[in-house]
Amino acid sequence: MTADRNLRVHVTRPIPDQALDYLKGQGLDVTCPADDGPPSREELLSSVEDAEAILSILTEKIDGEVFERARRLKVVSNMAVGYDNIDVPEATRRGVAVCNTPGVLTDTTADFAWALLMAAARRVVECHRFVQDGRWEWWGPKMMMGADVHGKTLGIVGFGKIGQAVARRATGFDMKVLYSGETAPETSKWGEKVSFSDLLQSSDFVSLHVPYRPSTHHLIGREQLHLMKKTGFLINTARGAVVNEEQLVEALESGEIAGAGLDVFEKEPQVHPGLHRLNVVLAPHAASASLATRAKMATMAAENLVAVLRGEEPQAIVNPEVLEQCQSPK
Ligand code: DGY
């Protein structure tokens, strides 16, 4: 792509084949580790040294130190809708485009929020373990009683694409849907906008769909958990640090809320030991993990990256001002 050498792309983890093949088919010099596990910091830093582009995933911290080492960098394309692993202001300052993958994972993530909600309410994991461990010896009228889902109130915090997809699914369960969020539309055919505190007080299930940023750090803590119903469930497929995990454990222990379904944690892959409880369903940040969706995310990330390298507009960019700067006459 340049006179003396092909442009170099470093893909920080093995991604679905079609995306890697697409990149290689663009005449790029593509490097990617063979191991699925995370690279050490030094491995990451040395791999990006002469790269024009990085295709990253959400656990790779792309910060000033990375930008300092990757002096030829033009684009960081994250294979995720969230981009809190990237120092975007620093990228912008250095004229590096940051891309993400909104849209392609919306429905898959919404499906999984529902899977957690249903599993937590109806004790699915506990039932499974009970049968699998050979503990099921007789049928009892009071065995494994959980909470109904149909006809209840679902509160959705953050009403972007994923929040709305979760809301749409609630119609099949005859649920009342409430939603809140500073940027949420005033009206929606999928629910009623209310204040955050009204939502917490009135909902049987509270599902979180806000991005992680300083303003959403510990959005749910002791005070908010106290507002929730004692029979309420908290579902988190957004980002772990939106919830104060320590205070969630306290609320679960003291019976302030009935249970939780959690896909994301404050210090992944560590999970607070207090969350290993029967009334908490745990998953390893897997909400977008369907074969089809992960392939779409990887392909979109690869296409975004190539578009930026070619001076074209990517499908999604977090800091469009970087492209504007490149295009505007000097
Ligand atoms: C994202 O895309 O931000 C999810 O957390 C992973 O799919």
Query: Which of 82, 42, 81, 86 shows the shortest CA–CA distance to 60?
Result: 86
Residues 232/154, Cβ–Cβ less than 8 Å: no
Among 94, 250, 268, 272, the active-site one is 268
- What is the position in ligand 1's atom list of the atom closest to the CA of 264? 5
- What is the position in ligand 1's atom list of the atom closest to the CA of 287? 7
Residue 126 to residue 259: CA distance in whole angstroms: 13
Residues 210/184, Cβ–Cβ less than 8 Å: no
Q: Where are the alpha helices (DSSP H) in the chain?
A: 17-24, 41-47, 64-69, 88-93, 106-121, 124-132, 161-170, 196-202, 222-227, 245-254, 291-309, 321-327
Q: Percentage of the chain with pLDDT > 70?
A: 98
**Mean pLDDT, all residues of the chain:** 97
Q: Is 239 a catalytic residue?
A: yes
Backbone angles phi, psi at 219, to 5 degrees: -55, -35
Q: Is 150 a catalytic residue?
A: no
Coil, helix or strand at residue 182: coil
Q: At 330, is the pLDDT very low, low, confident or very high (cuts 50, 70, 90)?
A: very low
Instruction: Give the pLDDT confidence of 27-44 residue by residue, as tens digits.
Output: 999 999 999 999 999 999
Residue 39 to residue 327: CA distance in whole angstroms: 35
- What is the position in ligand 1's atom list of the atom closest to the CA of 289? 7
- Centre of ligand 1 to C-alpha 288, Å, is 6
pLDDT at 138 over 90: yes
Instruction: Give the pLDDT confidence of 180-202 residue by residue, as tens digits.
Output: 999 999 999 999 999 999 999 99
pLDDT at 126 over 50: yes
Task: Say what the pTM is.
Answer: 0.96
Q: For ligand 1, atom 2, name the residue with the nearest CA.
A: 80
- Centre of ligand 1 to C-alpha 80, Å, is 4
Q: What is the pLDDT, as a whole number, of residue 327?
A: 64
Q: For ligand 1, atom 1, name the residue with the nearest CA.
A: 80
Contacts of 52 (CB under 8 A, 6+ apart): 7, 8, 9, 72, 73, 74, 75, 309
Residue 161 to residue 238: CA distance in whole angstroms: 12
